[in-house]
């Protein structure tokens, strides 16, 4: 493959996206420690773990709106600066309320990137290469998800949880500067000046976009709940060491790194709908089977299966969203779909906490397995991109 500038943009976006997910994943491996130090119940632990995604989900529509109307590169760089500051502020938190508020702020920083970053990539890659490119981009997220729990496994047992946020937060400032200097706005890029009411109608009245947001929420619920409750299940229920909780997340996320771009590539060849439905069904079976595998000493194998199935079709959902929305509303649509995805996924994580308090952590796996199965049903009602959409994209 001949290296082109668009591949440099993809690499830069992967780096940024990876660090945003490092920021997300730096907290869940510390949850057993935080639970003991702050005296949290499972419902509070679930809220704390989902606070990042609540902040992101509540503001990503605003991020999408801004990405259609301002230059994307400065917007992304500004979001990275906010991310770094919020990570460093987390080290000052000493209560559930303070840490939750700062984690919400960290998620708000993510909203400045997502729609702008995916729109940037969509402008540089044509439709027949877009699924693969976005899949690789989502794989960049998986690298961040791998780094954070590995760091946690090394640092938590001896130094506690606060140094983790310094280790992640300081490099983000450097990345912000590099991104601002290296990445250019795509050729022919222009800000959109159409009335916001027209954009909102085009997105909110698009049944496929709304269904994809719902599918994304049902898919990501498994990921978010596992990030929160897999370490707790392993440490509290199976009696493993604290570091094993971080290593479990690292193994799960590491297994997903090659699978996510493969899912994107397969969706380019066989269709987005087929891939989303198939992976969701596999995910449902894997989630429901994990406690049984753990009981017979096959927890590492079960964690590996979770990594290759749970949430790996989310990149295809994003690609599908780009396909069904005209370019004039693309960033806002990505923001809207991800708002539905992340808010729905976050609420599912909070629900998982209440289920754990009421029935035990084991039932969380059954709950999110049922949600994954539902996503395979809802995606069947998403329509294929219209001929008019294809004509507009080529224009």
Question: Could you read off the pLDDT of 170-207 as tens digits, one per residue?
Answer: 999 999 999 998 888 876 555 555 566 666 776 777 78
Mean pLDDT lowest among 91-100, 337-346, 381-390: 381-390
The full DSSP string for 4-64 is -HHHHHHHHHHHHHHHHHHHHHTSGGGHHHHHHHHT--HHHHHHHHHHHHHHHHHHHHHHH
The pLDDT score that the predictor gives to residue 349 is 82
Residues 155-167, mean pLDDT to the nearest whole number:
85
Write out the two tokens for 177. 């500067």
Mean pLDDT, rounded, for 100-118: 90
User: Is pLDDT of 386 > 80?
Assistant: no
Q: What pLDDT is attached to residue 60?
A: 83
Categorize the per-residue pLDDT at 88 as very low, low, confident or very high, splitting at 50, 70 and 90. very high
Residue 370 has pLDDT above 90, yes or no: yes
CA distances from 35 to 48, 175, 232 (A): 10, 32, 9
Tokens coding 82: 């906010």
326 phi-psi bin (left φ>0, alpha ψ -120 to 50, beta other): beta
- What percent of the chain clears pLDDT 90, i.e. is strictly above it? 23
DSSP 310: T
A 10 A CB-CB count for 342 gives 29
Each residue of 4-26: pLDDT tens digit? Answer: 788 888 889 888 988 888 888 88
What CATH class does 5-182+193-394 carry?
mainly alpha
State residue 184's pLDDT score: 87
Q: How far apart are alpha carbons 341 and 337 in whole angstroms?
A: 6
What is the rounded CA–CA span in Å between residue 244 and residue 294?
A: 14
Confidence of residue 350 (pLDDT cuts 50, 70, 90): confident
CB neighbours (10 Å) of residue 216? 29
Work out the mean pLDDT of the chain and round it to a whole number.
83
Determine contact, residues 326/201, Cβ cutoff 8 Å: no
């Amino acid at each position: 493959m001949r290296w082109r500038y668009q591949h440099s943009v993809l690499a830069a976006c992967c780096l940024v996206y990876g660090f945003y997910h490092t920021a997300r994943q730096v907290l869940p491996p510390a949850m057993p420690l935080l639970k003991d130090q702050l005296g949290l119940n499972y419902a509070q632990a679930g809220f704390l773990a989902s606070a990042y995604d609540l902040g992101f989900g509540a503001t990503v529509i605003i991020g999408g709106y801004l990405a259609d109307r301002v230059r994307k590169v400065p917007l992304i760089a500004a979001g990275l600066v906010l991310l770094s500051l919020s990570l460093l502020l987390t080290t000052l938190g000493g209560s559930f309320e303070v840490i939750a508020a700062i984690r919400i702020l960290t998620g708000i920083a993510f909203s400045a990137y997502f729609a702008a970053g995916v729109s940037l990539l969509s402008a540089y890659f044509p439709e027949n290469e877009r699924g693969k490119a976005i899949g690789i981009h989502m794989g960049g997220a998986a690298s961040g998800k791998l780094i954070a729990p590995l760091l946690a496994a090394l640092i938590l047992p001896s130094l506690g949880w606060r140094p983790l946020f310094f280790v992640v937060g300081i490099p983000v400032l450097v990345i912000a500067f590099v991104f601002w200097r290296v990445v250019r706005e795509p050729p022919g890029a222009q800000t959109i000046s159409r009335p916001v009411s027209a954009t909102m109608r085009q997105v909110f009245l698009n049944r496929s976009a709304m269904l994809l947001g719902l599918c994304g929420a049902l898919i990501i619920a498994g990921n978010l709940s596992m990030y929160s409750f897999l370490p707790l299940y392993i440490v509290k229920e199976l009696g493993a060491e604290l570091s094993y909780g971080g290593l479990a997340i690292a193994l799960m996320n590491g297994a997903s790194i090659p699978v996510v771009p493969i899912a994107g590539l397969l969706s380019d060849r066989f269709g987005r709908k087929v891939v989303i439905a198939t992976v969701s069904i596999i995910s449902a079976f894997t989630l429901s089977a994990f406690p049984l595998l753990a009981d017979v000493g096959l927890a590492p194998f079960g964690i590996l299966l979770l990594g290759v199935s749970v949430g790996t079709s989310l990149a295809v959902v994003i690609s599908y969203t780009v396909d069904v929305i005209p370019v004039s509303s693309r960033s806002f649509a990505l923001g809207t779909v991800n708002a539905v995805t992340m808010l729905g996924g976050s609420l599912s994580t909070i629900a998982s906490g209440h289920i754990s308090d009421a029935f035990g952590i084991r039932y969380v796996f059954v709950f999110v397995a049922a949600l994954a199965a539902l996503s395979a049903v809802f995606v069947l009602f998403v329509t294929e991109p219209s001929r008019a959409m294809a004509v507009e994209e080529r224009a």
